[in-house]
A and B are shown apart, each in its own frame.
Chain A
Amino acid sequence: MEQLNFSKVVIIMFKQGLSVMYREITYMWRDRGLRNLLLIGPLLGLFLFYATYSAQAIKDIPTAIVCLDRSDTARQLVEDMKNAEYLKVIAYPPNFQDLEELIKNGRVVVGIVIPEDLGQKVALHRQATVLVAVDGSNMIYATNAASAVMTVTHTISARAGINALVSNGINFSQAQEAYQGINIREEPWFNPTLNYAYFLVLALTLNIWQQCCTLVASMNVIGETGRRSWYQIKASGISVFKLFFSKSIVQVTMFMLLVLPIYIISYIFLHIPMHCNFGLLLLFTLAFTLALHSIGTLASSLSHSAIDSIRLGMLIALPSFILSGYTWPMESMPHYLQQAVKILPQTWFFQGINYLTFKNPGPAFIGHYFLILSLTAVTCYGVAAIVTLRK
């Protein structure tokens, strides 16, 4: 008889948790704005970012050449620039002022000025200067443009040097050897083609996903305590722990279900590299999800209104990707900022994702990432529980 009563109590207790879970799913599903944001936002981001970086590298950089010299050397230089892999010569302005105008109004990014005495100086084996102007207003464009021009100018410069040595009586092969004494071979690892899509698409999409998750998590506590229905919950006697534990299970499961298609589509359909074990990747994402959810829960327990909580959550989530060191190396940040951003789980997540997807460092290397994310979750959930119990 006692055993029967005990089983009945257990079933009722379990039912209580299930009812909270069911209501949480109902709430999330019936809130059309939130539902669309969660279901469409990250996937739309994935497709848009993939479309944006589908070229994989910046090619056909619009270039203008001001050629003030009519020598063969100048013609050869123009020809070399035209044949350069990433440059596209689209204009031949007659003077420097016109070139300046073209760069200012954004029609060209690279401007090359060949001086009128180039051929003469090369013939006399004197130092000749060719001006290469790059529009620095767009850093990514400028870096790629400078790199593309450098490849061409290195070759041209070497050729001029060899010619100078030959004219000084050194035979051609010796002159060539002198320039090829040290063969510096660039070999980018993990992303051999320096593909922007591989580097950015998944990270940017995960950034949208983590922002959506923060939005939901930052409503976890205040979404209950800030409503009048909190009276019903408080008067019912359900334990606060059970209530928020059940709600959190739904939210964390939802976050994981949302990230799953992002990984699958990225890997299978968009062929974004994912060198690590898929199980490890999911486990790592789960650790981050818990840490992220705990921060949102803490924000929602500290806030006085839902709007305040969302503001606080977004204040953390929005800049976290930039601060994570994914796009700008953490070592190049001031020391105090490096220490500060290490508190954010996003820093560890984006760094970890980069290691896992490109380098597959193995569980041992990523172990301390798990530890830090878990500590964040335990700390934030703990503080949130203390704050919420006092409400």
Chain B
Amino acid sequence: MPPIIEVKDLLQVIRKKSVFNGVSLEVQAGECFGLFGNKSAGKTALLHILAGIDRFTAGSVRIMGYDIRKTERFKSHLGLVTQERSLFQDLKVCENLDFIAALKKADSQNIRQVVEQLELQSYLNEPVETLDEGVYQRLALACALVNAPKLLLIDELIDGLDFHSYKLIAKAIKNYLSTGGTCLWAFHRVKFSAYMDRIGWLDKGEIIVYRPGELIKEYRNIFQINEKHKLLH
């Protein structure tokens, strides 16, 4: 079975500055792959390339077997939660769900399902711009799941949320994975690595893949070395 995500020698140069120097990775179906790195390591840039939002300089990217430079067919199997508030701010919660479902040609029955799953019933007539962070992120995930995607791309979703929203989001993602969905999840706090099957550490335009335990170990090593280095000087 071909991998859901297949990135080979990805090169991205923006304004003469290299963002990726030949990144390669594969994500298999049903896997929850973490994309770890400091802020500005390029996690969002990689997610935007995978979602077909941004172009890239060289290399090849295949999603579900589709070469994303040649076709946009893969987008109908995609769900995206962005780091920035990218829902339609002038629309209400229900209008956002309806509109995004229509854009993705999703079955409108899915809307009811995601609304119930993420407990959005009482917010349906609220304008999106007035939602607090927890409810907003629940809605963002609901919109991403509305077309029952095969691949879910998540950018920094559960950082700084209220406990109730955190619980609902974690449960919804777990459900999604249990039904065979694949997830690529960008995060910058090492504590979230426990959710992932594998983690790619993105740094200086390159990626190294770890198991969750290995990542924590490696992270601690680097952190302790740095601390010792600071103490010595």
Contacts and interface: CB of A to CB of B under 8 A. Distances in A.
A18 B89 CA distance: 19
A122 to B, nearest CB: 79
Contacts of B48: 231
Interface stretch (B99-107, B164-172, B183-191, B202-210): B99-107
B220 to A, nearest CB: 35
Given A12-B105, A27-B90, A228-B85, A236 B53 contact: no
A234 B52 contact: yes
Nearest to B92: A26
Contacts of A20: 102
Given A19-B102, A23-B95, A235 B89 contact: no
B91 A237 contact: no
B5 to A, nearest CB: 15
B51 interface: yes
Q: Which range holds the interface residue count of chain A?
A: 20 to 34
A228 B90 contact: no
Given A16-B102, A23-B91, A234-B52, A229 B75 contact: no
A206 to B, nearest CB: 30
A129 B76 CA distance: 89
B90 A235 contact: no
A19 B98 CA distance: 8
Interface string B81-113: 010111111110001001110111100000000
B35 interface: no
Interface residues of B, number: 29
Contacts of B91: 23, 26
B80 interface: yes
Question: Most B CB atoms within 10 A — which of A227, A228, A231?
Answer: A231
Interface string A13-53: 10110111011001100110000000000000000000000
Contacts of A15: 102, 105
B169 to A, nearest CB: 18
Contacts, number: 74
Question: Most A CB atoms within 10 A — which of B82, B85, B86?
Answer: B86
Given A19-B98, A23-B95, A26-B95, A235 B78 contact: yes
B87 A237 contact: no
B75 A237 contact: yes
Contacts of B99: 19, 22-23
B105 A231 contact: no
Contacts of B72: 237
A238 interface: yes
A30 B84 CA distance: 23
Contacts of B104: 236-237
B23 interface: no
Contacts of B51: 231, 234-235
Contact of A228 (B74, B82, B100): B82
Contact of B86 (A13, A18, A229, A238): A229
B90 A30 contact: yes
29 contacts: A15-B102, A16-B102, A16-B103, A16-B105, A18-B102, A22-B99, A23-B91, A27-B90, A31-B90, A227-B89, A228-B82, A228-B84, A229-B86, A231-B51, A231-B53, A232-B80, A232-B87, A232-B100, A232-B143, A233-B103, A235-B52, A235-B53, A236-B100, A236-B104, A237-B52, A237-B72, A237-B73, A237-B76, A238-B103
